[in-house]
Amino acid sequence: MKLVSAVIKPFKLDDVRAALSEIGVQGVTVTEVKGFGRQKGHTELYRGAEYVVDFLPKVKLEIAVADDLLEKVIDTVTKAANTGKIGDGKIFVTALEQVIRIRTGETGEEAI
């Protein structure tokens, strides 16, 4: 089992969620986050004063998947979140040692 963490642009969330639903992903955890990479923030004008926005708003998705679905999930998120512009985001994959569904006590892939 793997945990796929994807940091994407907020306006791409609905596209990514719909695409994941189409391939059979049943659950996604979404967190609003802020950060920067190559974009390094930008300057904005507010009431005549210029200020620097160091951290840009992003959305972090966490998706627990079985090993056999991993490549499909990565491909789906990559295609759905892509705008072709800087700041599209990143995908991180980590190993999941154990998953437990609290309500039923199911473990492993059955809990996903």
Question: What are the structure tokens assigned to 58, written together?
Answer: 């992003």
Q: Cα(58)–Cα(79) distance, rounded to whole angstroms?
A: 17
Lowest mean pLDDT among 79-83, 86-90, 101-105: 86-90
Which candidate, 58, 54, 56, places its Cα nearest to that of 30? 58
pLDDT computed for residue 81 by the predictor = 97
The mean pLDDT value of the chain amounts to 91
Q: Under CATH, which number does the domain 2-111 receive?
A: 3.30.70.120
46-69 pLDDT, tens digit each: 777 776 777 889 999 999 999 999
The domain segmentation of the chain, as residue ranges, is: 2-111
Q: Cα(61)–Cα(34) distance, rounded to whole angstroms?
A: 13
More confident call, 43 vs 84? 84
The total number of residues shown for the chain amounts to 112
CB atoms within 10 A of CB 20: 23
pLDDT computed for residue 86 by the predictor = 86
